[in-house]
A and B are shown apart, each in its own frame.
Chain A
Amino acid sequence: MRPLAQCHVLLTAVLASAAAVVSTSVPAQDRFAERAAMIETIKLHARSAPSAVEGQGIDPAVLKTMGKVPRHFFVPEEQRGAAYRDRPLPIGYGQTISQPFIVALMTDLINVGPGDVVLEIGTGSGYQAAVLSPLAAKVYSIEIIPELGERAAARLAELRFDNVEVKVDDGYYGWPVHAPFDGIVVTAAASHIPPPLVEQLAKGARMVVPVGGPFATQFLMLVEKRRDGSITSRQLLPVSFVPLREGRAR
Chain B
Amino acid sequence: MRAGRLLPVSLISAAILAYEVLLMRLFSIIQWHHFAYMIISIALLGFAASGTFVALACRPLVQRYPAAFAASAALFGITAVASFACAERLPFNALEIVWNPRQLGWLAAIYALLILPFFFGATCIGLAFSRHPGQIGRVYAFDLVGAGIGALGTVGLLFLVFPSAALRFVAALGFAAAALAATGMARHRWFAAGSLGLAAAVITVWLPPSWTAPSPHMSQYKGLRMALEVPNARVVEERSSPLGLLTVVESPTVPFRYAPGLSLANTQEPPAQLAVFTDGDSITAITAYGGEPATVAYLDRTTAALPYRILERPRMLLLGAGGGEQVLLALRAGADIVDAVEVNPQMIDLARNRFADFVGGIFSRPNVHLHLAEARAFAATTGERYDLIQMPLLDSFSAAAAGVQSMHENYTYTVEALRDYLAVLRPDGVVAITRWLRVPPRDILKLFATATVAIEAEGVAQPGRHLVLIRNWNTATLLVAKSPFTGDDVAAIRAFAAENFFDISWAPGISASDVNRYNQLDQEYLYEGALALLSPERSDFTERYKFDIAPATDNRPYFFDFFRWRALPELLILPTQGGAAMLDWGYLILVTTLVQAAILSAVLILLPLWLRRRALGRAAHRLRFGLYFLALGLAFLFIEIAFIQRFVLFLGHPLYAVAVVLAGFLAFAGLGSAVATRWMAAVGCGSPVRGIALAVVVIAFLAGTYLLALPLIFERLLALPDAAKIAIALLLIAPLAVFMGMPFPLGLGHVGAHSEEFIPWAWGINGCASVLSAILATLLAMHVGFTGVVTIATILYLVAPALLAGLWDRYDPHGSFPDRNRSR
Binding site for B on A (CB under 8 A): 1, 45, 48-49, 51, 82, 86-88, 90, 92-94, 99, 101, 144-146, 170, 172, 190-195, 198-199, 211-219, 221, 223, 231-239, 241-248
| Given A234-B519, A239-B579, A144:B254 Cβ within 8 A | yes
Please, how many angstroms separate the alpha-carbon atoms of A216 and B585 in the complex?
12
Please, how many angstroms separate the alpha-carbon atoms of A20 and B385 in the complex?
66
Please, how many angstroms separate the alpha-carbon atoms of A78 and B516 in the complex?
46
Chain B residues whose CB sits within 8 angstroms of the CB of A195 once the complex forms: 266-269
Please, how many angstroms separate the alpha-carbon atoms of A192 and B269 in the complex?
11
Please, how many angstroms separate the alpha-carbon atoms of A238 and B519 in the complex?
17
A244 touches B402 (CB 8 A): no
Chain A residues whose CB sits within 8 angstroms of the CB of B541 once the complex forms: 244
- A46 → B minimal CB distance (Å): 9
Please, how many angstroms separate the alpha-carbon atoms of A245 and B566 in the complex?
10
Q: Give B525's nearest chain A residue, CB to CB.
A: A243
Does B96 sit at the interface, judged by CB under 8 A? yes
Q: Give A101's nearest chain B residue, CB to CB.
A: B577
Q: Give B570's nearest chain A residue, CB to CB.
A: A241
Please, how many angstroms separate the alpha-carbon atoms of A244 and B519 in the complex?
20
Please, how many angstroms separate the alpha-carbon atoms of A99 and B522 in the complex?
23
B568-585 to A contact mask, C-beta < 8 Å, 1/0? 001101101111111000
B254 touches A216 (CB 8 A): no
Please, how many angstroms separate the alpha-carbon atoms of A232 and B473 in the complex?
10
Does B656 sit at the interface, judged by CB under 8 A? no
A191 touches B100 (CB 8 A): no
- B338 → A minimal CB distance (Å): 23
- B19 → A minimal CB distance (Å): 30
Can you list 26 A-B pairs with a CB-CB distance of less than 8 A? Answer: A48-B577, A49-B577, A82-B100, A144-B230, A192-B259, A195-B267, A195-B268, A213-B398, A215-B95, A216-B402, A216-B578, A216-B580, A218-B439, A219-B439, A232-B517, A232-B519, A233-B473, A234-B519, A234-B521, A235-B522, A237-B440, A237-B522, A239-B577, A243-B547, A244-B525, A244-B544
* Partner of B401 from A93, A99, A101, A218 at Cβ < 8 Å: A218
Chain B residues whose CB sits within 8 angstroms of the CB of A93 once the complex forms: 220, 226, 229
B96 touches A231 (CB 8 A): no
Does B258 sit at the interface, judged by CB under 8 A? yes
B522 touches A51 (CB 8 A): yes
Q: Give B585's nearest chain A residue, CB to CB.
A: A216
A241 touches B544 (CB 8 A): no
| Given A215-B96, A216-B95, A216-B402, A233:B578 Cβ within 8 A | no
The DSSP consensus for interface residues of chain B is loop
Please, how many angstroms separate the alpha-carbon atoms of A146 and B232 in the complex?
11
* Partner of A212 from B222, B253, B269, B581 at Cβ < 8 Å: B581
Does B821 sit at the interface, judged by CB under 8 A? no
Given contacts A170-B253, A232-B518, 11 further A-B contacts (CB under 8 A): A87-B99, A87-B576, A144-B231, A170-B254, A172-B269, A198-B264, A213-B398, A216-B580, A234-B519, A239-B578, A243-B525
B581 touches A87 (CB 8 A): no
Please, how many angstroms separate the alpha-carbon atoms of A101 and B255 in the complex?
32
Does B546 sit at the interface, judged by CB under 8 A? yes
Chain A residues whose CB sits within 8 angstroms of the CB of B258 once the complex forms: 191
Q: Give B227's nearest chain A residue, CB to CB.
A: A94
| Given A87-B100, A90-B93, A235:B519 Cβ within 8 A | yes
A172 touches B95 (CB 8 A): no
- A145 → B minimal CB distance (Å): 5
Does B190 sit at the interface, judged by CB under 8 A? no
- A220 → B minimal CB distance (Å): 9
Does B501 sit at the interface, judged by CB under 8 A? yes
Please, how many angstroms separate the alpha-carbon atoms of A94 and B579 in the complex?
23
* Partner of A243 from B100, B501, B518, B545 at Cβ < 8 Å: B545
Name the residue among A82, A198, A241 with the largest chain B CB count within 10 angstroms.
A241
Does B674 sit at the interface, judged by CB under 8 A? no
Chain B residues whose CB sits within 8 angstroms of the CB of A87 once the complex forms: 99-100, 576
B229 touches A94 (CB 8 A): yes
B576 touches A231 (CB 8 A): no
Does B262 sit at the interface, judged by CB under 8 A? yes
B93 touches A239 (CB 8 A): no
B571 touches A241 (CB 8 A): yes
B100 touches A94 (CB 8 A): no
Please, how many angstroms separate the alpha-carbon atoms of A197 and B433 in the complex?
29
Q: Give A192's nearest chain B residue, CB to CB.
A: B262
| Count of chain B residues near A, Cβ 8 A | 67
Chain B residues whose CB sits within 8 angstroms of the CB of A193 once the complex forms: 262, 264
- B549 → A minimal CB distance (Å): 10
- A238 → B minimal CB distance (Å): 4
Q: Give A224's nearest chain B residue, CB to CB.
A: B520
Chain B residues whose CB sits within 8 angstroms of the CB of A90 once the complex forms: 93, 96
A172 touches B229 (CB 8 A): no
Does B607 sit at the interface, judged by CB under 8 A? no
Chain B residues whose CB sits within 8 angstroms of the CB of A101 once the complex forms: 576-577
Does B622 sit at the interface, judged by CB under 8 A? no
Does B426 sit at the interface, judged by CB under 8 A? no
* Partner of B545 from A144, A233, A244 at Cβ < 8 Å: A244
Please, how many angstroms separate the alpha-carbon atoms of A219 and B544 in the complex?
23
- B28 → A minimal CB distance (Å): 17
Chain A residues whose CB sits within 8 angstroms of the CB of B566 once the complex forms: 245
Please, how many angstroms separate the alpha-carbon atoms of A223 and B473 in the complex?
10
* Partner of B578 from A146, A172, A199, A237 at Cβ < 8 Å: A237
Please, how many angstroms separate the alpha-carbon atoms of A213 and B140 in the complex?
46
Chain B residues whose CB sits within 8 angstroms of the CB of A199 once the complex forms: 267
Top-3 shortest CB links A-B: A216-B581, A192-B262, A243-B440
Does B619 sit at the interface, judged by CB under 8 A? no
Please, how many angstroms separate the alpha-carbon atoms of A236 and B402 in the complex?
18
Chain A residues whose CB sits within 8 angstroms of the CB of B239 once the complex forms: none
Does B257 sit at the interface, judged by CB under 8 A? yes
B576 touches A99 (CB 8 A): yes
Please, how many angstroms separate the alpha-carbon atoms of A231 and B441 in the complex?
22
Q: Give B474's nearest chain A residue, CB to CB.
A: A211
Name the residue among B262, B438, B578 with the largest chain A CB count within 10 angstroms.
B578
Please, how many angstroms separate the alpha-carbon atoms of A172 and B261 in the complex?
17
Chain A residues whose CB sits within 8 angstroms of the CB of B254 once the complex forms: 144, 170, 172
Does B540 sit at the interface, judged by CB under 8 A? yes
Please, how many angstroms separate the alpha-carbon atoms of A241 and B523 in the complex?
11
- A169 → B minimal CB distance (Å): 9
| Given A87-B576, A234-B520, A243-B525, A94:B225 Cβ within 8 A | yes
Does B221 sit at the interface, judged by CB under 8 A? yes
B211-238 to A contact mask, C-beta < 8 Å, 1/0? 0000000001110011001110000000
- B226 → A minimal CB distance (Å): 4
Does B681 sit at the interface, judged by CB under 8 A? no
- A162 → B minimal CB distance (Å): 28
Please, how many angstroms separate the alpha-carbon atoms of A245 and B549 in the complex?
14
Chain A residues whose CB sits within 8 angstroms of the CB of B401 once the complex forms: 212-213, 216, 218
| Given A216-B401, A244-B546, A45:B264 Cβ within 8 A | no
B267 touches A235 (CB 8 A): no
Please, how many angstroms separate the alpha-carbon atoms of A245 and B258 in the complex?
37
- B810 → A minimal CB distance (Å): 54
Please, how many angstroms separate the alpha-carbon atoms of A87 and B99 in the complex?
6
B520 touches A219 (CB 8 A): no
Please, how many angstroms separate the alpha-carbon atoms of A17 and B520 in the complex?
39
Q: Give B302's nearest chain A residue, CB to CB.
A: A192
Q: Give A170's nearest chain B residue, CB to CB.
A: B254
Chain A residues whose CB sits within 8 angstroms of the CB of B264 once the complex forms: 193, 198, 223, 231, 233
Q: Give B94's nearest chain A residue, CB to CB.
A: A215
Chain B residues whose CB sits within 8 angstroms of the CB of A146 once the complex forms: 231
Does B727 sit at the interface, judged by CB under 8 A? no
Chain A residues whose CB sits within 8 angstroms of the CB of B545 once the complex forms: 243-245
B577 touches A238 (CB 8 A): yes
Does B265 sit at the interface, judged by CB under 8 A? yes
Does B205 sit at the interface, judged by CB under 8 A? no
Does B731 sit at the interface, judged by CB under 8 A? no
Please, how many angstroms separate the alpha-carbon atoms of A45 and B401 in the complex?
22
Within 8 A of A (CB), among B252-282: 253-255, 257-262, 264-269
- A74 → B minimal CB distance (Å): 17
